[in-house]
Amino acid sequence: MRPLIVASLPIYKEDDLLKARNIKEADMIELRLDYSQKLISLEKIKEILGDLKEKLILTIRDVNEGGVYKIADSEKAKYLQEADLEGFIYDVEASFLERFDVPFKGKIVSAHYFNELPKYEEVEKIIKKYSQDALFIKIATIGKGEYKELLTKLLKFDKIIVLPMGVDPLERIALGILGSRLIYTFVETQTAPGQMHYSKAFKIISCLYD
Ligand SMILES: O=C1C[C@@](O)(C(=O)O)C[C@@H](O)[C@@H]1O
């Protein structure tokens, strides 16, 4: 199965939504809504990018998992509940789902480890808990110590996305070929270390699969 390319786009202000229209060489576009101090409304997103809805991933990343601005938990939960009713795909942390009742069927459930590698058992627990209903489970870890052993071991799971951070971006391509379902890439500036430009990733993947 061809891994899909996700172009991760920081949204600082409403106008940044327009940039999504120019991104052709990506299968999906992640809108990083936590780059804006005040959340851009779902109404605005629908107005500007409504026709691209199926390609969009809405993300309000928690600050302790790599987010930029702190959005109040209750506001985030409400926003995601509404986004679900509107039929948007979003990305939500497994840790957030432990605390808030937010739908995750058909969504991306994620966990990010920026400082230390998690134990295999900890990640396996998350995957087993959410993988039946989630669209994908995404595990991003720092590229340190035995991260390759850990991430490749996770590839046996269906619907899995593994992303090493802070290492050669080609490693994400390699893991995509081995079964990681999405490859996260950048548009203008990286939203995490270890991303490649989306058009480069798209070209590499296209020459293997098309
Ligand atoms: O969770 C992820 C993955 C990511 O952290 C990465 O490693 O590319 C980038 C984030 O924008 C996204 O929400």
Atom 5 of ligand 1, residue of closest alpha carbon: 192
pLDDT at residue 26 in the model:
98
Query: Does residue 162 register a pLDDT over 80?
Result: yes
Confidence band of 201 (pLDDT split at 50, 70, 90): very high
Q: Taking all residues of the chain, what is their mean pLDDT, rounded to a whole number?
A: 97
Phi, psi of 32, rounded to the nearest 5 degrees:
-85, 90
Instruction: State the number of CA atoms in the 13 A half-sphere of 136 facing the CB.
Output: 24
Q: Is the pLDDT of residue 210 over 80?
A: no
pLDDT reading at 36 higher than 90:
yes
Task: Look at ligand 1, atom 7, and give the residue with the nearest C-alpha.
Answer: 192
Tally DSSP H helices, then E strands, for the chain. 7, 8
Domain residue ranges of the chain, discontinuous segments joined by +: 4-209
For residue 125, CA distances in Å to 91, 121, 122 come to 18, 6, 5
Domain 4-209 has CATH 3.40.50.970: no
Contacts of 9-17 spanning 24+ positions with Cβ under 8 A? 9/187, 10/35, 10/68, 10/187, 10/188, 10/189, 10/191, 11/35, 11/36, 11/40, 12/36, 13/40, 14/40, 14/44, 14/48, 17/44, 17/45, 17/48, 17/49
Query: Model confidence over 106-116: pLDDT tens digits?
Result: 999 999 999 99
**Model pLDDT for residues 65-96, shown as the tens digit of each residue:** 999 999 999 999 999 999 999 999 999 999 99
Q: What is the mean pLDDT of residues 167-192?
A: 98
- What is the ipTM metric for this complex? 0.98
Ligand 1, CB cutoff 6 Å, lining residues: 8, 30, 32, 59, 61, 66, 91, 110, 112, 138, 140, 163, 165, 184, 191-192, 195
